[in-house]
Chains A and B, each alone.
Chain A
């Protein structure tokens, strides 16, 4: 599901969309990078972004918001605070101190790894996974695996932006989980 379909949020969504910018050829030639930092420079648009997620999740008994390093850290905590949930950072290897569980995942070339603290999440907890953007869905699937290995139920994955051509939504559907986004990307670099 995407926001704006039937919840009267169209103006807020348009405002958010207009603050995003596309940076061509980053991090490498041929990639059109969707940059959320310009959204963070617009207090109203940033607040609207958080509010849209909070409105969706505040009555869903979510006890954990898991945010993916590093841009998931910019959105997840504010949502967690508003709905009274724990915030759990999911991090690149060797960043979290103490005992962790690790989940490896496949990239276009090579692999990467996501870690979560042992004990951060308890069996039966209801979790939301947050990141700024979903592309192939590989990182979100690794995140869901971590939470499920700890016994939590992943209720949904939520991102500001979806890149539909990279089929992340389908990948999450195979994992049995829904995806909620505010905006779908269209590739037109802004000046």
Chain B
């Protein structure tokens, strides 16, 4: 599902979309990088972003918001605070102190790894996973695996931006989980 289908969010969605910018050829040639930092410079658009997620989840009895390092740390905590949930950071290897569980996942070239603290999440917790953007869905799937291994139920994955051509939504559907996004990626670089 994408936001904006219901009419009174359309104005807010348009404002959010116009606050994003595209940086061509970052981090490497051919990639049109969807940059959310300009959204964070617009207090109304940033607030609207958080509000749209909070409105969707506040009655869903979510007890855990898991945010993916590092841009998921920008959106996840304000949502968690607003709905009274725990915030759990999911991090690159060796960043979290103490005992962790790790989940490896495949990249285009090679692999990467996501970690979560042992004990952060309990059996029966209902979790939302938050990141700024979904591309192939590989990182979100690794995140879902971590939460499920700890006994939580993943209710949904939520991102500001989706890159539809990279089929992340289909990948999550194969994992049996829905995806909610506010906007789809844009192609026109800003001046």
Contacts and interface: CB of A to CB of B under 8 A. Distances in A.
B56 interface: no
A64 to B, nearest CB: 9
B147 to A, nearest CB: 14
Interface in A23-73: 23, 26-27, 33, 35, 37, 40-43, 46-47, 50, 69-71, 73
A81 B50 contact: yes
Max count, chain B CB within 10 A of own CB: residue among A41, A50, A71: A41
Contacts of B98: 21, 23, 26, 35
Interface string A75-109: 10110110011111101001111100000000000
A96 B120 contact: no
A98 B35 contact: yes
A120 interface: yes
A87 B40 contact: yes
A137 B117 CA distance: 27
Interface stretch (B73-81, B103-111, B156-164): B73-81
Interface in B23-63: 23, 26-27, 33, 35, 37, 40-43, 46-47, 50
A85 B97 contact: no
A79 B39 CA distance: 16
B168 interface: no
A135 interface: no
Contacts of A120: 37, 41
B70 interface: yes
Interface string B72-94: 01110110110011111101001
Given A23-B97, A26-B98, A87-B46, A37 B78 contact: no
B166 interface: no
Contact of B73 (A74, A80, A94): A74
B74 A88 contact: no
B101 interface: no
A171 interface: no
A70 B81 contact: no
B39 to A, nearest CB: 9
A69 B70 contact: yes
Interface of B: 21, 23, 26-27, 33, 35, 37, 40-43, 46-47, 50, 69-71, 73-75, 77-78, 80-81, 84-89, 91, 94-98, 117, 120
In the complex, the 5 A-B pairs of residues with the closest C-beta atoms, listed nearest first:
A23-B97, A97-B23, A73-B73, A26-B97, A97-B26
Given A88-B37, A95-B70, 6 more contacts: A43-B80, A43-B84, A71-B73, A78-B81, A86-B40, A97-B26
